[in-house]
Structure 1
Amino acid sequence: MKKSLLFIVNPAAGRTQSRGPLFDAVTAFSNAGYLVRVRTTAARGDATAIARDEGGDYDVVACCGGDGTLNETVSGLLQLERPPLLAYLPRGTTNDFASSLRISPRPAEAARAVERHQPRALDAGSWNDRCFVYVASFGAFTKSSYSASQAAKNALGHFAYILEGMKDLNTLRPYSLRLTADGEELDGEYLFGAVCNSTSIGGLMKLDPERVVLDDGKFEMLLIPMPKTAAELQELLLALLNQQYDAGGLIFRHVSHVSVEPEEDLPWSLDGEYAPSAGRVEIRNHQAALTILL
């Protein structure tokens, strides 16, 4: 009996790229012995609805698009009692999670992971009642991940995020919040915070792959506190530049549960998608909630 595969494609992602590799990807799925059904998205939330409503009928659900498409697909799969295997064909701009997993940016090559059939367990995160695959962040440069237009992302890639981030420099300011991470109280003023399960954040900040285990039930949390003096600012910038996240006053932890209560409006980014401010945010790690083919 043939196996079945649902292929969710976001046609808006990588719009300037040739469509030829997508046909090659479908061929690779077929050659691996799968009956393939292709579903395209037309609006935000479509991938979630497709994965939730149809994914349970398939052995594998593969999605092709950027980090936002992956987030939506996973959001749908996690609503199923028994999620099928996941495959990811990155075709967006930054593709942080694909970089962490060393997934090829070429769709046909990434599709061959299904044929190799090497499953790997992955943690997933919940942000109140929403999910995220690899990062929930707030503060400096967070807005640029979701405010850059799709056209700019397609045309400029990483530079689009940098341009958007530069617009935020004149409003760079700390956020005062109550924060508890696995019982440790870390109340304070922070310029930026991220809870992630990835070696790359926004395509700009890199974490040591040896310190990131994607199925250990722990997130990597990085907090950038507001420097009080010019010397502290210099130390902080040097630590970030040299990717020394245990130095310069930076706070780096491996955590499974984070609770955040901001004292003011605090928008978030979940896998590059906007999340509005909430009076209280509960972030939890769901260990090995998914299995991806690599």
Structure 2
Amino acid sequence: MTHKRLLLIVNPRAGRSKSRSPLFDAIALFSEAGYLISVHKTAGPGDATETAAREGGSYDLVVAVGGDGTLNEVIAGLMRLNPRPLLGYLPQGSTNDFAASLHISDHPVTAAVSMIRGTPKALDIGSWNERDFVYVASFGAFTKSSYTASQSAKNALGHFAYILEGMKDLNTLRPYKIRLNADGQTLDGEYLFGAVCNSTSIGGLMKLSPERVVLDDGKFEMLLIPNPKTPAELQNLVLALLNQQYDSQGLIFRHVASLRLETEEDLPWSLDGEYAPSAPVVNIVNHQGALTMLL
């Protein structure tokens, strides 16, 4: 029997409160399925990326074990390789937005069984200037709440936690003046928030029906929230967000393959929930089917 090689890149800090035994059971299942397994525990930020880039090419399958941040790092490393091994994900973190949109179980054994039986699925990967992201790049309001909302609030309130956290920002809500070109369409203006995503959920703030999100169509889903001029406009925007009516009430929703954003302002970004500093020019490109994932 020919053995396949599997590299598990494990973030030991993710899901620290969880028992490790289901993870051992998952590893045993991979072994029984004919995989020769190596395990790498990450030592700190960036280690998963370096490990995936340095060692991933010697493996048939590289599995990220941790939260969305760990997955993001592993993907950034694999994107440096050509050819690229198959990608797997055992979600162990506190935010597993992307896992939820892919219907990957947060129970390691269930996820491992799916992977072993699984079908390879092509996955678009986004680049934000030089950085890679998997499911969302966002700026402006609510962006900060994705890394400031307390974990207990996220767990208890989900979608509403972000809206409420954003509402607390309403007094500090500020428009960002940007020049934006999306697939050749000019959308210059003042926006409170913008996001491009390849996921059915953005940090609990925005939920998209699975019919609208195709993970390998070469397109991102883009949502822009224009700066409301009156309290009534603001109320309409909030209602449209809460009711998930993204085509209405002044919201701008598009499917785009690339965009270029320019601003003179300090514009904080979040990539897959991780902070990214402001840049005067941001080019975002969808790399269609850049990775293949076992689901």
Which TM bucket (shorter chain)?
over 0.9
CA RMSD of aligned residues (A): 1.6
The answer to whether the 8 A contact 1:21-1:108 is kept is: yes
State the shift of 1:71 in Å: 0.3
Partner of 1:222: 223
**Structure 1 length normalisation: TM-score?**
0.94
Distance, in Å, in 1 between the alignment partners of 2:172 and 2:156 is 20
Q: How far does the alpha carbon of each residue in 1:53-100 deviate from its partner, in whole angstroms, 9 at most, with x for none?
A: 000000000011111000000000000011100000111122111111
- 1:239 to partner: Cα distance: 1.1
**Shift of the alpha carbon at 1:210?**
0.5
SS of corresponding position for 2:235: helix
Aligned partner of 1:102 in structure 2 is 103
Distance 1:64 1:58, change over 3 A: same
Q: Are the counterparts in 2 of residues 158 and 203 from structure 1 also a CA contact under 8 Å? A: no
User: How far apart are the structure 1 equivalents of 2:154 and 2:232?
Assistant: 34
C-alpha distance in 2 between matches for 1:281 and 1:265: 12
Deviates more, 1:63-72 or 1:112-121: 112-121
Task: State the Cα distance separating 1:244 from its structure 2 match.
Answer: 0.6
User: In structure 1, how many angstroms separate the alpha carbons of the residues matched to 2:274 and 2:156?
Assistant: 18
Partner residue in 1 for 2:43: 42
1:106, 1:165 → 2: CA distance?
31
User: 2: CA distance between counterparts of 1:207 and 1:268?
Assistant: 21
Letter in 2 for 1:42: A
SS at match of 2:81: coil
Residue 173 (structure 1) aligns with: 174
CA contact (8 A) 1:4 1:58 kept: yes
* 1:266 paired residue number: 267
Provide, for residues 116-152 of structure 1, a one-character-per-residue CA deviation record: whole Å limited to 9, x for no partner.
031000000000000000000011111122346xxx5
Q: Matched residues in 1 for 2:48 and 2:145: separation? A: 23
Mapping 1:1-294, distance limit 5 Å: 1-147=2-148, 153=151, 157-158=154-155, 162=162, 165=166, 168-294=169-295
Deviation at 1:204, TM superposition (A): 3.0
Query: 2:60 corresponds to which letter in structure 1?
Result: D
Cα distance in 2 between the residues matched to 1:246 and 1:164: 23
- Aligned partner of 2:280: which letter? G
1:240-284 Cα deviation digits (max 9, x unpaired): 111110001000000001111122000100001111000100000
- Choose 279-288 or 139-148, whichever is displaced more: 139-148
Cα distance in 1, alignment partners of residues 220 and 252 from structure 2: 13
Which stretches in structure 2 are left out of the alignment for 5+ residues?
A: none
Question: Hey, what's the Cα distance between the residues in 2 that align with 1:157 and 1:238?
Answer: 20
Q: Report Cα offsets for 1:183-207 as digits up to 9, x if no partner.
A: 1100111111000000000023201
Give 1:114 deviation, angstroms.
2.6
CA distance in structure 1 between the aligned counterparts of 2:246 and 2:215, rounded to whole angstroms? 19
Give me the identity figure in percent.
69
Measure the CA separation in 1 of the matches of 2:263 and 2:168. 23
Provide the rounded CA distance (Å) in 2 between the counterparts of 1:64 and 1:157.
21
Can you list the C-alpha shifts for 1:148-199, whole angstroms capped at 9, x where unaligned?
A: 6xxx53x664459648656644421111110110011001111110000000
1:169 & 1:47 partners in 2: Cα distance?
A: 37
The residue identity in structure 2 corresponding to 1:142 is T
